[in-house]
Amino acid sequence: MVRMTLKNTFSLLNADHVKLDKNWNYKHIISPFYRLYLIDGGQGSLFNSGESHVLESGFLYLIPSFTICDYQCSDFLSQYYVHFMEESADGNSLFSSNRKIMKFPATQIDFDNFRRILHLNPGRGLIKSADPKEYEKRRIIQEFQEMNKFLDPSAFMETHGIILQFLSRFLSKEHFQRTDKREIPSKILDAINHIQTHLEYPLTVELLADRANQNPDYFSRIFKENTGERPVNYIQFKRIERAQLLIITTDLPFHEISIKTGFESLAYFSRTFKNITGLTPSQYKQKNKAVEP
């Protein structure tokens, strides 16, 4: 776990303290960045994979990147929030096997850390719009990322350290590891890591099973028991997840993105993308395209 965490770095996008009302109502949001909330008044709701989570005062909430979620406030909600991007040496997300909404009781240190991030990073709030369709556009994300370059080195390092402190709260066994308390077999962890770092290369059940010195049928069954998906489906989900990030954060044409994510053809890539996201790559890009001045 320690070696895995050290491969990941995090950079601030947005931070602010806001008071929300019933206009904070957005559905099917899947962000390329992490969201962290600290509620200090009122009440709201988060919905994810058939589960409902009440946003309660005095609690921290973490939503990892690419976690599909609905947001709702029926009356009033007061919250601190931090959005941040993740990068890793091997392309593997810290929460790649645990993309769900997580909740943890806040402490006074958490409140102090949120106020400190706001002090170190003024002007990082979403002033123009609270609608994810607006601020998740590639140009907007890049503009906020660029702001980190103008931070004093000490402020940049302290901000990164505070984000790591927040994340450390969610690495406890009851929040980060599997709820059934079983350890994921090392051969499955190795397969997951191999998938994440070789998405552009041919990946088959037979290849992964051979790496694990197991029969393909047995390997596939054990893989599903520990990830909830058959290897083929898991690979497709991860490839489309990577494609979504590339569409949002780069200007690469679709045929290059399809190659970088391991698809045999642009047509197959487009068909798979729509099956998983409900949108074609063009529709997804248009949805996240910034409106040029």
Mean pLDDT of 203-229: 91
pLDDT of residue 174: 60
Read off the pLDDT of residues 231-269 as tens digits, 9 standing for 90 and up.
999 899 889 988 988 887 788 899 999 999 999 999 999
Q: Mean pLDDT in the chain? A: 85
Q: Three-class SS of residue 191? A: helix
Write out the CATH class of domain 2-176.
mainly beta
Read off the pLDDT of residues 123-158 as tens digits, 9 standing for 90 and up.
999 877 777 767 767 678 888 888 999 999 999 999
Cβ proximity of 66 and 99 under 8 Å: yes
Dist CA 258 CA 280 (whole Å): 13
Does the predicted model carry a pTM greater than 0.75?
Answer: no
Q: Three-class SS of residue 286? A: helix
Read off the pLDDT of residues 91-133 as tens digits, 9 standing for 90 and up.
667 777 677 889 999 999 999 999 999 999 999 998 777 777 6
DSSP letter for each residue of 222-284: HHHHHHSS-HHHHHHHHHHHHHHHHHHH----HHHHHHHTT-S-HHHHHHHHHHHHSS-HHHH
Q: Where are the domains of the chain?
A: 2-176, 186-287
Pick the CATH number of 186-287 from 3.30.420.40, 2.30.22.10, 1.10.10.10, 1.10.10.60: 1.10.10.60
Backbone angles phi, psi at 87, to 5 degrees: -130, 150
Cβ proximity of 12 and 141 under 8 Å: no
